[in-house]
Amino acid sequence: MKRILFVCHGNICRSPMAEFILKALVKAKGQESQYHIESAAVSREEIGNPIYPPAKRCLQQHGVWFDPNKRARQVTGADYDRFDRIICMDASNLRLIERIIPQDPEGKIHLMMSYTGVGRDVADPWYTGDFEETFQDLLEGCEAISSSF
């Protein structure tokens, strides 16, 4: 089983969107039993909060199912052993995750867009307001991830 954890700052926009986009992609391929996919935050700011409403709307507009009971949680040190890949949305997430997981001896921690061959960040729609642009980046990244295993 491939175990993937998506990480963003608060776990209410980008990382849950990526979680449910990848779940939809693997389900469409009939491979959902081969994956375990979750998402989490590097910060504690949004712990317990649901997916941000504009992120939900964007997923719905694209026909991507999401769990309405999804709640934000923070990454833990134990997640390093639980997941094969820990995929961060931006360079800030990479820096902050080092406080929780100080070492990556197995090379599990990556930037999302690195799977597409581009080293740039996924823009945070909390600040940009552009959930569609973020969705498209996440879709591109998730398609690349699902092909990389």
Q: Using the Cα atoms of residue 45, residue 114, residue 62 and residue 134 in order, give the sign of their dihedral.
A: positive
Contacts with 12 (C-beta within 8 Å, 6 or more apart), sequence order: 41, 46, 49, 50, 51, 52, 55, 72, 126
Q: Is 124 a catalytic residue?
A: yes
Q: Is 14 a catalytic residue?
A: yes
Gap between the Cα atoms of 15 and 136, Å rounded: 13
> Token pair of 72, please?
């934000």
Q: What is the pLDDT of residues 75-128, one digit of tens each?
A: 999 999 999 999 999 999 999 999 999 999 999 999 999 999 998 999 999 999
Q: Which of 79, 90, 121, 124 is catalytic?
A: 124
> Token pair of 51, please?
């997916």
Cβ count within 10 A of residue 25: 20
pTM across the whole model = 0.97
Q: Which of 14, 79, 85, 88 is catalytic?
A: 14
Cα atoms found within 13 Å of the Cα of residue 107, Cβ hemisphere only: 0
Q: Which of 8, 58, 88, 142 is catalytic?
A: 8
Q: What is the pLDDT of residues 5-53, one digit of tens each?
A: 999 999 999 999 999 999 999 999 999 999 999 999 999 999 999 999 9
Closest C-alpha among 19, 81, 29 to residue 55: 19
Gap between the Cα atoms of 68 and 66, Å rounded: 6
What is the predicted pLDDT for the residue at 119?
Answer: 83
Name the packing angle between helices 53-61 and 14-28 (round to 10°). Answer: 20
